[in-house]
Amino acid sequence: MRHLKDSYKHKGMRKQLVKEVASKGIRDERVLNALLKVPRHFFFDDIFDTHAYEDKAFPIGAGQTISQPYTVAFQTELLEIEPGDNILEIGTGSGYQGAILAEMGANVYTIEYQKTLFDKTRKFLPKLGYSLNFFYGDGSKGLPQHAPYDGIIVTAGAPSVPNELLKQLKVGGRLVIPVGGGRTQTMYKLTLHPNNKVMKKEYNQFRFVPLLGEKGWNK
C-alpha cells in the first residue's frame, strides 16, 4: 500500500538526497530540479518509506529494482533532454525514471518486459499526473514503430550495444546504455552524427539488473 502524501519531512529528505547527488558530480540544474520535484517515496510501499531517500537501488518485485537516484541522474544528464524530445526508455520498472523524463518535458515511450511491472506502473504513473506511452514486450530491439527518437535510455545491463537501437535514433540523437556481464557495467553514450557516424563515449561503472530478450542475455 502507498499513500500519495508529500509531507515536509519527505520534501526535506528529498532536498538532502538532491544535495548528495549533486555532490557526486551531477551539474545539470534541470535534472536536479526534476529529482527535487518527483516524490520518490510514492514508488515505495509505505513501510519502506524512509529507504526512498537513500541514494540506493531498491527491490520493486519480479526480481527487479528501482535504480539508484545517482544512476538515474547520471543517465538523464547524458541524455541532454530538451522539452518536447521523443525519448524511448527500455525498462519501465517502477516508473520513477520515466517520471523524471516526463518532468523534464520529454514525450516518453517506455517498454517493460515483466508483465506484472508493466500492469502496475501503467496504472500508477497517471495517478501522479504523468502520461507516458506504455508498451509491454522485449525492448532490447527498441520500439521501431515510434522511431526515430531524440534519445534512448536503457535501464538494464546489455551484453553489447544493439545495432537496432542506433538505427532508431534521429541524427543528433543519443543512446545511453550500460554494457557488460560482470558484477558491474560500463556506461556508454553513443551519439548519431550525419552519414551514420557514431561517436561513442565511455563513462564509469554502474550496477544494473540484466537486459533480457533477443538482444539481451537470454530469451
**Spatial distance between the Cα atoms of 103 and 115, rounded to a whole number of angstroms:** 25
**Spatial distance between the Cα atoms of 210 and 185, rounded to a whole number of angstroms:** 10
150 binds ligand SAM (CB under 6 A): no
Q: Which helix (H) or strand (E) holds 193?
A: strand 185-193
Is 67 an active-site residue?
A: yes
Report the residue count for the chain: 219
Q: Please choose, out of 10-18, 22-30, 64-72, 125-133, the segment that lies near ligand SAM by the rule CB under 6 A.
A: 64-72
Q: Please choose, out of 27-35, 48-56, 161-169, 208-216, the segment that lies near ligand SAM by the rule CB under 6 A.
A: 208-216
The pairing of beta strand 197-206 with beta strand 58-61: unpaired
Taking CB under 6 A as the criterion, which residues in 163-202 touch ligand SAM? none
117 binds ligand SAM (CB under 6 A): yes
Q: Which member of 23, 67, 94, 140 is catalytic?
A: 67
**For ligand SAM, which residue of 34, 40, 41, 65 counts as binding (CB under 6 A)?**
65
C-beta closer to ligand SAM: residue 22 or 212: 212
| Exposed / middle / buried, residue 145 (Cβ in 10 Å: 0-12, 13-18, 19+) | exposed
**For ligand SAM, which residue of 68, 76, 86, 97 counts as binding (CB under 6 A)?**
97
**For ligand SAM, which residue of 14, 53, 64, 192 counts as binding (CB under 6 A)?**
64
Q: Is the previous residue joined to 148 through a cis bond, with omega within 30 degrees of 0?
A: yes
Task: Identify whether the C-beta of residue 178 lies closer than 8 Å to the C-beta of residue 185.
Answer: yes
Which residue from 108, 84, 85 is spatially nearest to 96, judged by alpha carbons? Answer: 108
Which residues make up the interface to ligand SAM (CB under 6 A)? 64-67, 90-91, 93-94, 96-97, 111-114, 117, 138-140, 155-156, 208-209, 211-213, 216
Q: Hey, which residues are catalytic here?
A: 67
